[in-house]
Structure 1
């Protein structure tokens, strides 16, 4: 029987920052980016500072690879309407944080922004999205290419290679059927479980080191508090959503809409609609 593992975002906060556990994150990044990633160090940035809300809502980790690239991995649990702007801000801030005053702009490091979200972000049915923006001419429809000197100096084939690449893993859209090794990682991110048949890089280490049973007593207490905070937050969000649905339903009682129509507009069941109508 497959053992339930601790959540990946909590592991990012407490366990994956230790060098002994780098292999887990290296495996995930290698599967997602489709090239082998070796972590040189875990960095700290202004973006890593968290307030009380962040303790259970979001967590991020900033990785520096052996190729001097920066990889910002962020897990976001609750919906934020401006999350796309947050992604852009996070990368932009890294650009300014990790270039020293007086250095030429060409020393800016390549940045990867990996965003794991547990809420509906934008519109789309897939569960892994990759930004593939290109600079395209509006009249000739041509692709802007780098000069020979730029190719030589910066080792890029396209202008877009200079710019950040974004990934969004909409784990709640995943159907739990792992068709490849990246799907195996998405399955783990969604379910905190690694099946015996999984072969993706890093998951063997995750299965070994992220078991609840191997945590220290203090780590277990912290993880239990983290889970309890999530349950409380989910309960608050659910209650607020229910109250809003009820408010909208009551406002529609003054219209000719049937209970069935109101149910479609609000997401409430027919039974709930009828109970609301009968309330004094």
Structure 2
């Protein structure tokens, strides 16, 4: 019984921890372990960078927590958590990466000093990706980066190092474009934990580190994010965070319920129309759109045909 209680002992929410605990240098080992699981390479964090995105958001409908770290190579790693859907989610990721590049290049500096940016985004809503055959990808984490393709051959091309004198320098420039890791926690299957990243995602999603988990940094996560080990000030801050979160989401749910009773607001309808028509223009089948949006095929056809809209 004692072991069972120990196994199910909860840790504080990861988004709160990022803002209040993991920013301390003594706790970098937790973030480094998480980044190793995501990126597959050791990331030594030197410092946490301050930016506008680190400030508290007043609109908890789009709650997200950001942290910007610099690794030993001077590259920037952004970690963010977001709970609810956002229409321009991918564009905001691009903006965040671009802003970090600009913010970390001083006026008058040469472009050779531009730093590479990695964005690791943990999302609690389901962001589905589509395979070439229009079926929904089952992967809960995706990695995106810039590559170059022959316009006619459609083949991925690389720089010919034999034709370049200083290839090592050029190779670094070739790899300077931002890279994105999007982790959809809602799509993660808790019954299918196979590797270190699965252990981290399971722990973050469920606010609990199982005793058998042994991924790098995860033991430290269990110790440092244990509520009972927090200072009194941290405990008060965390309790307030939970209360604010519950209150805000309660207001949102009440508004949604009112919307269902009184009919959706015009703005929400317009967003649905744009969302469905965008997917239609991409050639997705009605069945695929239905699985992604949760709407019936009849409702989707009504939107496409402007029936009652």
Structure 1 residue corresponding to 2:257, chosen from 226, 236, 242: 242
SS, match of residue 162 in structure 1: coil
Structure 1 regions of 5+ residues with no counterpart?
Answer: 250-263, 267-280
SS, match of residue 68 in structure 1: coil
C-alpha distance in 2 between matches for 1:149 and 1:42: 37
- Aligned Cα root-mean-square deviation (Å): 2.2
Q: Residues 165 and 56 of structure 1: is their aligned pair in 2 closer, same or farther, counting only changes over 3 Å?
A: closer
Q: Residues 247 and 55 of structure 1: is their aligned pair in 2 closer, same or farther, counting only changes over 3 Å?
A: closer
Encode CA deviations 1:216-257: one digit per residue, 9 max, x unaligned: 1111111011111111222222222222223349xxxxxxxx
Which 4+ stretches in 1 moved above 4 angstroms? Answer: none
Shift, 1:265, TM fit: 6.1
C-alpha distance in 1 between matches for 2:166 and 2:240: 51
| Structure 1 residue 191 corresponds to structure 2 residue 206 | yes
1:180 counterpart residue number: 195
| Structure 1 residue 106 corresponds to structure 2 residue 104 | no
Encode CA deviations 1:182-229: one digit per residue, 9 max, x unaligned: 100000110111111101111000111110001111111110111111
Q: Residues 37 and 13 of structure 1: is their aligned pair in 2 closer, same or farther, counting only changes over 3 Å?
A: same
Structure 2 residue corresponding to 1:221, chosen from 236, 241, 254: 236
Normalization by structure 2: what TM-score? 0.75
Cα contact 1:30–1:37 (8 A) shared by 2: yes
Encode CA deviations 1:125-173: one digit per residue, 9 max, x unaligned: 42111114421122122334236256321444x94x2211101111111
1:167 counterpart residue number: 181
2:86 counterpart residue number: 80
**Comparing 145-154 with 65-74, which one deviates more in the overlay?**
145-154
Normalization by structure 1: what TM-score? 0.82
Structure 2 regions of 5+ residues with no counterpart?
Answer: 130-136, 265-293, 297-309
Cα contact 2:49–2:70 (8 A) shared by 1: yes
Cα contact 1:56–1:229 (8 A) shared by 2: no
2:278 counterpart residue number: none
C-alpha distance in 2 between matches for 1:50 and 1:144: 43
Shift, 1:122, TM fit: 4.6
Which runs of structure 2 are paired with 1:19-98 in the superposition (5 Å)? Answer: 19-53=25-59, 57-98=63-104
Shift, 1:175, TM fit: 1.4
C-alpha distance in 1 between matches for 2:254 and 2:139: 29
C-alpha distance in 1 between matches for 2:168 and 2:145: 22
SS, match of residue 148 in structure 2: coil
1:141 counterpart residue number: 154
Shift, 1:97, TM fit: 0.5
